[in-house]
Structure 1
């Protein structure tokens, strides 16, 4: 009976997770299996992988063949490395202690690498959250500023201030218009008053002329009277 180490699908639509199983190669993918060797959840970052190393190595020693995906997972967890080291022990190239030491050193290095990756992912997530928070604060500040400006624009004081500005800007034009209107009203009155003044001034001018004429005639009359009086004296 050919045994395959493969993945068996579980989970809901869009979020699957898998069991790593040893099953009959002729069985259905999600059918009966011989032994559950671990789990694989690709929905997390990094992916969650749990494998029973000793049982997996035993199935490999018994001739089980892993699928391509299962082979990558077993290699990631060191199952294939341990299977290879135990082959060296069987051949006499290594002792069990040496093989175990090499495997534990590889596991420690792998854990450091995974830990570093998780730390980097955590930092990246924190930075992304920080940027998102700053962007949100900036948006909220802009909204608050816009609301404050709208409230100030709608307040009575702002309306009064706008009216005062408009009044100050329009005052010179209004004064000029009033001046022009007063000049327009005064012009006909001045034209009507001119004939009246001329009429009033005419008799006065005539009186002055008559007075001047009388004044000029008075010496002439005196001279004439004097001349008339002289012959009478001479005659005497």
Structure 2
């Protein structure tokens, strides 16, 4: 039975949410699956991915083929790297401790990159809010200035009319 690691769509129209599953390649897209490996939510920024890395590695070692999108997700979360390192351990190229050390170092580096992106997005959002506030303050100041000048003109108008009526007499 050929097994694929693929995405199974859930969620409502326009708001997709995916399960990452190991399924028979002949099964329907949203049909029966062998095991749920994780979840993927592309609606958040950055996208939320919850993945059982060990479960994914187990399926990869048993011959499951990921689809293109699933491969990108597995690569992002390090499942493909862990599978690669496990192959190196089998061949004797490195020990289990070395493989685990390399994997944890990669995870730490990846977590730092993701945190930097999240911080950058938060900073950009704060800058946008500050710019919008400054623009609103400028608009309000212009309105206040326009209103005060209209009031001054309205106060001067009766004086001008009074002077004009005095001249006529």
Any gaps of 5 or more consecutive residues in structure 2? none
Q: Post-superposition shift, 1:12? A: 1.3
Count of paired positions:
169
Distance 2:111 2:131 in 1: 30
- Helix, strand or coil for the counterpart of 1:44? coil
2:162 is equivalent to residue 159 of structure 1:
no
Q: Post-superposition shift, 1:17? A: 1.5
The match for 2:134 is 134
Structure with the larger strand share: 2
The match for 2:89 is 89
- Helix, strand or coil for the counterpart of 2:26? coil
Distance 1:121 1:46 in 2: 9
The match for 1:216 is none
Q: Post-superposition shift, 1:140? A: 2.1
Q: Post-superposition shift, 1:152? A: 4.0
What stretches of structure 1 move > 4 A for 4+ residues in a row?
none
Which structure has the bigger radius of gyration? 1
Distance 2:140 2:15 in 1: 35
Any gaps of 5 or more consecutive residues in structure 1? 175-236
Q: Post-superposition shift, 1:91? A: 0.5
Q: Post-superposition shift, 1:143? A: 2.4
Aligned residue runs from structure 1 range 45-124, under 5 A: 45-124=45-124
Q: Post-superposition shift, 1:48? A: 0.9
Report which stretch shifted further, 79-88 or 12-21.
12-21
User: Root-mean-square deviation (CA), in Å?
Assistant: 2.1
Structure with the larger helix share: 1
Q: Post-superposition shift, 1:13? A: 1.3
Distance 1:149 1:126 in 2: 35
